[in-house]
Amino acid sequence: MRDDALQVNLAGRQRLLVERIGTLSNAIAHTGDPRQLAPLRAELAATLVEIEDAHNTLLADFGALSPAVEALYFRPPAEIDTGLRKFTDSARALANASADSLATDNVDFHYIQDKLFTMVALLDQVVAQYQAESEQAVEHSIAMDILLGGITLLALLGTGLFIFRPMERRTLARHARQLEAANKALRDSERKLQLQYDNAPDMLLSIDLETQRVVRCNATTASKLGYTKDELIGMPRSELYAPGCRRRAMAAFSEFHDTGRVDDIELQAQCKDGSIIDVSLSAVHYRDSDGGAGYSDAIWRDISARKRAEREIAKRDRKLTTLYLLGEQMLLSKALAPMMHNLAYCLYETLDAKYALVCSLGPVKNQLSVEAGVGIPRSCIAAEPFTVEQGSLADLALRSGGVVSAVPGEVGCRLYGTEYLDAEQVSHGFACTITGSREALGLIMVFLKRGNAPSDEDKDYLQSLANLLGVAADRILQEQHMGRSQARRSRLG
């Protein structure tokens, strides 16, 4: 049989090389200097050759493997042999990938990062198993040496004592040195792994499944959530999630307990200051050897930027759809009132507004009438015209002839008489004049909920809707004028 210490060293070397592959893969995916890419690729390729040599050497004498080690390498759930080959294949693909495809969203890079800690944990089990078997071998060797020494002592009396005791001491010393070297390599590896764990780009947590509390987390988790690591340790798992998504989180936990893992479940985490971040959850269940609940290792990936982009795209799609549908209606409608109501409602929905109003310009200068509105009291609509106050948002829009915006607290939200909009619930207001072919016909005003501000895209959207309504108003007024003229001619004829 092969030397026990060699097996321990080979297993420990596999573990160190897996960590080095993870570090080099991270460096390749994040390097911004093309000159560093070639040396990193070469080092990764050399490391892959080393780990494959170590792996093949360790498994060369298949019959020498103990049942426990054989189960770790070739039987579920561990299947280290298959997992390690997939891991090295992904690393080789990353080493050979084109520079354009090297990014943090590279499929091979994500596979390496997702499997790194699992692979290291499994190889830890292999090292521990080999150590245990090595220690058993040492104990067995000691027992045999003692037994043989006793027999020899009895047979040779005093002569045997002086012959075999030095041999026994040398054997013990050799095994002790080999074991100490393996333990030192293991301690060094654990220190390196802890550094990589704390500085990983994703949030990493371990949950005790019996108490449902955090038992371990990395520095990235504490930094992202605004806690210290000591504050997070012992915190109930449910308190990490935003109130609005705890039902979805419970559904994910149910799936996790049934299957032993979840992958890429989109949830929301709540920070210490109450703010919310979007995360993608992946987790694996590890049971205790005595059949207890065990613990879970979870990865939270911050996907807030992606979710914001998705919401912006959806908002833009709603705006484009609104422009198309309202434009189609304005080309066919025979009356202005339904168009104004639909316009106010669409502005209210697509811009997440607190108030949306469409006003017509009366015959008296600087007087407006509210023709349609959403979010405002019903008494404001079709009421008596109100005079535009100088310096107000409506006044600025009418004098500008285009889109203007302001903070209502600075310019006021007054509509008419003693009726006011609730300025405490409004952050920004912006307005646009509805202009026909010859003159201004009215005004569109939108007041956004607190915390929002109009973007340039929102202003262009409002201008487009005002232009559509102006064209439609011109058409309807012209058709009405032609109808009246035709009726007059009919009466005269």
pLDDT value of position 316: 81
Q: Flag the least confident range among 254-268, 347-361, 387-401.
A: 387-401
Q: Same structural domain for residues 261 and 357?
A: no
Quick check: 338 pLDDT over 80?
Answer: yes
**Which two structure tokens, joined as six digits, stand for 491?**
């009466």
Q: Same structural domain for residues 290 and 321?
A: no
Of 175, 198, 221, which marks where a domain is finished? 198
Quick check: 399 pLDDT over 60?
Answer: yes
Q: Same structural domain for residues 286 and 318?
A: no
Burial class (CB in 10 A: 0-12, 13-18, 19+), 144: exposed
- Residue among 107, 171, 174 at smallest CA distance from 144: 171
pLDDT tens digits along 155-169 = 666 665 566 677 778
pLDDT value of position 81: 85
pLDDT tens digits along 283-322 = 988 877 776 778 888 999 999 999 888 888 888 888 788 7
Residues 261, 266, 272, 275, Cα dihedral to 10°: 180
Q: Same structural domain for residues 209 and 242?
A: yes
pLDDT tier, 418 (very low <50, low <70, confident <90, very high otherwise): very low
pLDDT tier, 271 (very low <50, low <70, confident <90, very high otherwise): very high
Instruction: Write the CB contacts of 196 (distance below 8 Å, at least 6 apart in sequence).
Output: 19, 22, 23, 116
* Separation of alpha carbons 170 and 176, rounded Å: 10
- Which residues, in sequence order, are bridge partners of residue 416? 419
Average pLDDT, the chain: 81
| Rounded percentage of the chain residues whose pLDDT exceeds 90 | 10
* Separation of alpha carbons 382 and 376, rounded Å: 12
pLDDT tier, 340 (very low <50, low <70, confident <90, very high otherwise): confident
Query: Diameter of the chain by CA atoms?
Result: 151
* Bond preceding residue 77 cis, omega within 30 of 0: yes
The angle formed by the CA atoms of residues 336, 338 and 342, to the nearest 5 degrees, is 115
pLDDT value of position 491: 74
Quick check: 413 pLDDT over 70?
Answer: no
Q: For residues 113 and 62, which has the higher predicted lDDT (pLDDT)?
A: 113
Tally of domains in the chain:
3
Q: Same structural domain for residues 214 and 265?
A: yes
pLDDT tens digits along 2-35 = 466 677 777 788 888 888 888 888 888 887 777 8
pLDDT value of position 415: 44
Q: Are 343 and 322 in contact (CB under 8 A)?
A: no
Q: Same structural domain for residues 119 and 211?
A: no
Of 302, 324, 341, which marks where a domain is finished? 302
Q: Same structural domain for residues 267 and 369?
A: no
The most confident of 137-141, 239-243, 285-289, 291-295, by mean pLDDT: 239-243
Q: Same structural domain for residues 314 and 243?
A: no
* Separation of alpha carbons 64 and 66, rounded Å: 6
- Number of alpha carbons in the 13 Å side-chain half-sphere of residue 97: 23
pLDDT value of position 220: 92
Q: Same structural domain for residues 249 and 187?
A: no
Of 158, 178, 198, which marks where a domain is finished? 198
pLDDT value of position 273: 93
pLDDT value of position 411: 46
pLDDT value of position 161: 58
Instruction: Write the CB contacts of 433 (distance below 8 Å, at least 6 apart in sequence).
Output: 397, 398, 400, 401, 402, 440, 442, 443, 466
pLDDT value of position 299: 92
- Mean pLDDT for 129-134 is 79
Rg (CA), the chain: 37
**Which two structure tokens, joined as six digits, stand for 459?**
């202003």
Q: Same structural domain for residues 361 and 456?
A: yes
- Mean pLDDT for 268-273 is 92
Instruction: Please give the residue range of the domain that contains residue 189.
Output: 4-198
Q: In this structure, what CATH number is given to the domain that contains residue 461?
A: 3.30.450.40
Q: Same structural domain for residues 158 and 122?
A: yes
Q: Same structural domain for residues 321 and 420?
A: yes
